[in-house]
A and B are shown apart, each in its own frame.
Chain A
């Protein structure tokens, strides 16, 4: 755990199993992602972790969601603070803050040591900074029409003062059209927002670095569209630079920013799953679009990559090829004849029994030599070399199956929903009385996601007694989920509804409690170092 662990409290409200069955609605942490929370009104939603606190479990993490306005306000207030401390102009303070990646403490420390040196370093000439400029004799950074001016960039000039020109504090004066194009190229062409510098090629001679354009001047020069883009880029830079744990929600078209303190080495035990106001569930640790608990970010990363690389290929290899019994080259049979000749080692063998072809005589199209020893040995060898592939496919198929089942469960639910609507109209049942199916489907879907990722995790776990305990929990949850899933497929009739409802509610509660047990135990195992992986789990930057 990092030293800033006191900023958040992941141990709040530890789970007590007995509460779940009696009063799951108020104490069940896995409710965290139900739609009540998605639709929190703006005041509440601003700090959902506050709202979630009473139902927090060990594996839920604290986080906050900010809108883009909050991000702008945050920058403003940090800039104001720096201005107040050093008596700087806001436009200079913001340049300093951006230079230091919004690390205010470092900026304050360095600036206090030697203000002039720092100003030079970031491209603000001491004494000519905005503060000094406003009262200085020349006020060089203003827009100005100069007689007989020729711009050294576009070579346009005129005798009378018809051209608008601009110079920054360094005094390098160019026409404002060129400045405008320069800014537009930087903003639109290169997506630059951190700093846009003076156009003079040897400007660093005046200053330790090139003079930096202030936001105010950029705003004066470029069109509104470009300036808006500049500000968006600046906000993005702010979020990316920020060391206090900010990240954009990965949801499509979502501009919200999530703040969470579970980072770095915390990710070796915790999985910071967050729910944005837009409804997107994501992992704060690795930006994964979804809930990958109980697999750690590193495990998820490895697994996703492996699946992208291998799954289809591995399936195909498994289905369509065999290995040469002598040199283990992977061979695809491309003709009808079972007489195989390995291109690589010239070994001749039978596709069917894997035995040496020489023992087959002339029985080309059928093989009746199953018990022959040479064939048996070859089959054993083949088996061994296929074990790792089979092992992978074992986990992959279960992983993929839960994903598919979750989809089918949801499809089934849309049908059921229609039926429930009808039932409300035709019978005395109220809306609230038919909600149990919805709850059940939601639970099944969430738990299938959990199960899916248990297979990714299990693939990387060493075989030992701890892993067996993990698999026991996995099996219990799987059994509970399959039971509930089966209940969901039962026909809905008016007579059977009360019975079905109590069955389904019990099953739903049981599934939820199994999920909590599994997630809590996995977390506990990570904290205690109980799990051993047989692959190096990458750490997430």
Chain B
């Protein structure tokens, strides 16, 4: 890729500002347009409801041939997100396609908050908790949301 920014990244950044998906905000950093400050609102009806979760998203140099790197900055009790905020999501790994976009990635992450998948866990202890006692596990998720992700 040339030194100038690819049209794709500029377009995507622009569209994310003008026409942001509901409950999702992605603002490119002033120093580096490949770096985005992201916040995702916890989906209604999930234990993450009303929470505002901060994430960072970074586009590697071979993007969009390579998937973006995304990480939760806000602590979250979720079977597919570990202590460091890393996310277990197929489209961020082998199921990535260059036709996917930042927008689709963030929407998928939002959907992951609505439907955790404890059968494909990243945080084993959380997944175990979700599998053995879903009610109690959801209560913890809710508690963490209130503690760390409550909107002002």
A189 to B65, CA, bound (A): 10
Identify which of residues 73-100 in chain A touch chain B, using a CB-to-CB cut-off of 8 Å: none
Contact status A182-B8, CB under 8 Å: no
Contact status B8-A154, CB under 8 Å: yes
Contact status B99-A153, CB under 8 Å: yes
For A493, what are the chain B residues with a Cβ–Cβ distance below 8 Å? none
- Contact mask for chain B residues 63-89; partner A; CB cutoff 8 A; 1 contact, 0 none: 011100000000000000000000000
Q: Is A156 an interface residue, CB under 8 A from the partner?
A: yes
Identify which of residues 1-48 in chain B touch chain A, using a CB-to-CB cut-off of 8 Å: 6-8, 11
For B65, what are the chain A residues with a Cβ–Cβ distance below 8 Å? 181-182, 184-185, 189
Q: Is B97 an interface residue, CB under 8 A from the partner?
A: yes
For B147, what are the chain A residues with a Cβ–Cβ distance below 8 Å? none
Identify which of residues 144-187 in chain A touch chain B, using a CB-to-CB cut-off of 8 Å: 152-156, 172, 174, 178, 181-182, 184-185
Contact status A199-B66, CB under 8 Å: no
Contact status A201-B8, CB under 8 Å: no
For B135, what are the chain A residues with a Cβ–Cβ distance below 8 Å? none
Contact status A153-B98, CB under 8 Å: yes
Contact status B11-A153, CB under 8 Å: no
Q: How many of chain A's residues have a CB under 8 angstroms from any CB in B?
A: 17
Q: How far is the CB of A174 from chain B (nearest CB, A)?
A: 8
Closest B residue to A198 by CB, please name it: B97
Contact status A189-B66, CB under 8 Å: yes
Q: How many of chain B's residues have a CB under 8 angstroms from any CB in A?
A: 14
For B66, what are the chain A residues with a Cβ–Cβ distance below 8 Å? 185, 189
Contact status A182-B11, CB under 8 Å: no
For A184, what are the chain B residues with a Cβ–Cβ distance below 8 Å? 65
Contact status A153-B62, CB under 8 Å: no
A178 to B64, CA, bound (A): 9
**A201 touching B7 in the complex, CB below 8 Å, given contacts A181-B65, A185-B62:** no
Contact status A153-B104, CB under 8 Å: no
Q: Is B100 an interface residue, CB under 8 A from the partner?
A: yes
Max chain A CB contacts within 10 Å: which of B62, B66, B98?
Answer: B98
Contact status B7-A199, CB under 8 Å: no
For A156, what are the chain B residues with a Cβ–Cβ distance below 8 Å? 7
Contact status B99-A154, CB under 8 Å: no
Q: Is A416 an interface residue, CB under 8 A from the partner?
A: no
Pick from A155, A172, A174, A199: contact of B11, CB under 8 Å = A155
Max chain B CB contacts within 10 Å: which of A156, A172, A182, A201?
Answer: A201
A184 to B7, CA, bound (A): 20
Closest B residue to A185 by CB, please name it: B65
Q: Is A200 an interface residue, CB under 8 A from the partner?
A: yes
Closest A residue to B64 by CB, please name it: A153
Pick from A154, A181, A189, A200: contact of B97, CB under 8 Å = A200
For A172, what are the chain B residues with a Cβ–Cβ distance below 8 Å? 99
Contact status B62-A152, CB under 8 Å: no
A435 to B79, CA, bound (A): 72
Q: How far is the CB of A185 from chain B (nearest CB, A)?
A: 4
- Contact mask for chain B residues 87-114; partner A; CB cutoff 8 A; 1 contact, 0 none: 0000100000111100010000000000
For A203, what are the chain B residues with a Cβ–Cβ distance below 8 Å? 97
Closest A residue to B7 by CB, please name it: A155
Q: How far is the CB of B4 from chain A (nearest CB, A)?
A: 13
Q: How far is the CB of B89 from chain A (nearest CB, A)?
A: 13
**A199 touching B62 in the complex, CB below 8 Å, given contacts A154-B6, A154-B8, A156-B7:** no
A377 to B65, CA, bound (A): 71
For A155, what are the chain B residues with a Cβ–Cβ distance below 8 Å? 7-8, 11
Return the 9 tightest CB-CB contacts between A and B, nearest first.
A185-B65, A201-B97, A201-B99, A155-B11, A199-B98, A201-B100, A153-B98, A154-B8, A181-B65
* Residues of B participating in the A interface, judged by any CB pair closer than 8 Å: 6-8, 11, 62, 64-66, 91, 97-100, 104
Given A181-B65, A189-B65, A203-B97, 20 further pairs, Cβ under 8 A: A152-B99, A153-B64, A154-B8, A154-B64, A155-B7, A155-B8, A155-B11, A156-B7, A172-B99, A181-B62, A182-B65, A182-B98, A185-B66, A189-B62, A199-B97, A199-B99, A201-B91, A201-B99, A201-B100, A201-B104
